[in-house]
Amino acid sequence: MTELMKTGTQILWLLISVISGVLVIVSVEHFLEFQEPVFRLLKYCFAGAITARVYLSLKQLEKRFDA
């Protein structure tokens, strides 16, 4: 049961990180409608960080289910 709770917690954190990252990107685009290069770079950095977090979380879940 503890493994199931750990997996559920990881899935929950994965969803929270994806949703919060999407909200950050949407809010940056919404409040800063002009496309200055600095803000565009920040937006892409946030998107890259979110993608990396999701990828690493999925890899951890894959290892857990394969074991």
pLDDT digits (tens, 9 = 90+) for 5-34: 777 877 887 787 778 777 777 776 676 666
Measured CA to CA, the distance from residue 9 to residue 3 in angstroms comes to 10
Residue written as tokens 């750990």?
A: 6
**Which of 3, 22, 16, 14 has its CA nearest to residue 57?**
14
Q: Could you tell me the pLDDT band of residue 42, with boundaries at 50, 70 and 90?
A: confident
Measured CA to CA, the distance from residue 54 to residue 48 in angstroms comes to 10
Measured CA to CA, the distance from residue 36 to residue 28 in angstroms comes to 12
What's the pTM? 0.50
